[in-house]
Amino acid sequence: MAKLFFALIFTVGIIASTNAVAIRFSNDVSTIGPEPTPSPTISSAACADLNGVKSHSTGQCFIHVNETKTFIQAELHCESLNGHLTSIHSGFDNLLVADFAREIFPSIDQYYVGLTRFEGNNDAWQDGTRVDYTDYGYQNYGQLCTTVIMNDATWTRTDCFTQAYFVCSV
Ligand SMILES: *[C@@H]1O[C@H](CO)[C@@H](O)[C@H](O)[C@H]1NC(C)=O
């Protein structure tokens, strides 16, 4: 089942790459498409224009998308904004993003961030940044994508075909 799933995701990745988008895998060798986004540099004003909220520590502009999509479709949406499903690099940013999620999303539910575990049990952020912070509550072993539970801002592994709200960063 895991192999079948991977093959499916890989196929989607190849199809997606023809549209100049990239789905990142944890193993760099299998990375398709352009290099990781460099540290985001858009200004606070530009972030505000996108209805985003800016991280004070990383400069990321977090954009909460008020729609539900599967993980891959959410990542493609973020790439259309010249970003990726967001990475989270501190407990403060985790709470910041969760707090805005409660304001923007219509129900207390869950949202995708860009953390996956596709190969070799290595976690990878879609934007290629280092995995230096996680906040897993319930691990849900075997599932490959990550959502944040809005009740308490803890993370859980989720089936990548789940339709969930999502947060991009640019
Ligand atoms: C999010 O979408 C819901 C349902 O479509 C809508 O009722 C709500 O006003 C939207 N929230 C924002 C902040 O746009």
| pLDDT at residue 81, as a whole number | 94
Quick check: 21 pLDDT over 90? no
CATH fold of 67-169 reads Mannose-Binding Protein A; Chain A (3.10.100)
**Residue 106 CB–ligand 1 contact under 6 Å:** yes
Q: Give the Cα separation of 46 and 83 in Å (integer).
A: 14
Quick check: 26 pLDDT over 70? no
Secondary structure of 123-156 as H, E, C letters: EEECCCCCCCCCCECCCCCCCCEEEEECCCCEEE
Q: Note the Cα 98 to chain centre separation in Å.
A: 13
pTM of the full structure: 0.78
Domain boundaries, the chain: 67-169
Q: To 10 degrees, the CA torsion angle through 52, 150, 163, 25?
A: 70
**H/E element, 93:** helix 91-104
User: Which atom of ligand 1 is found nearest the CA of 66?
Assistant: 1
**Residue 50 CB–ligand 1 contact under 6 Å:** no
**Residue 104 CB–ligand 1 contact under 6 Å:** yes
SS3 29: helix
| pLDDT at residue 5, as a whole number | 44
Q: Note the Cα 91 to chain centre separation in Å.
A: 16
- The DSSP code for 28 is G
Ligand 1 centre distance from Cα of residue 105 (Å): 7
**Residue 38 CB–ligand 1 contact under 6 Å:** no
Quick check: 28 pLDDT over 50? no
| pLDDT at residue 139, as a whole number | 74
**Of 12-16, 31-35, 40-44, 66-70, where does the model show the most confidence?**
66-70
Q: Give the Cα separation of 14 and 106 in Å (integer).
A: 34
User: What is the per-residue pLDDT across 121-147, written as a single tens digit (0 to 9) for each?
Assistant: 789 999 999 999 999 987 777 899 999
Selected residue with higher pLDDT from 119 and 136? 136
Q: Give the Cα separation of 94 and 165 in Å (integer).
A: 15
Ligand 1 centre distance from Cα of residue 167 (Å): 15
User: What is the per-residue pLDDT across 39-93, written as a single tens digit (0 to 9) for each?
Assistant: 557 899 999 999 999 999 999 999 999 999 999 999 999 999 999 999 999 999 9
Ligand 1 centre distance from Cα of residue 18 (Å): 33
**Mean pLDDT, residues 156-170:** 97
Smallest Cα–Cα separation from 128: which of 5, 14, 7, 32? 32
Ligand 1 centre distance from Cα of residue 126 (Å): 26
Number of neighbouring beta carbons within 10 Å of residue 39? 10
Lowest mean per-residue pLDDT among 18-27, 34-43, 52-61, 116-125: 18-27
**Residue 100 CB–ligand 1 contact under 6 Å:** no
Quick check: 11 pLDDT over 50? no
Residue 104, burial from CB neighbour count under 10 angstroms (0-12, 13-18, 19+): middle
Mutation choice for ligand 1 from 66, 105, 111, 167, CB with most ligand atoms inside 8 A: 66
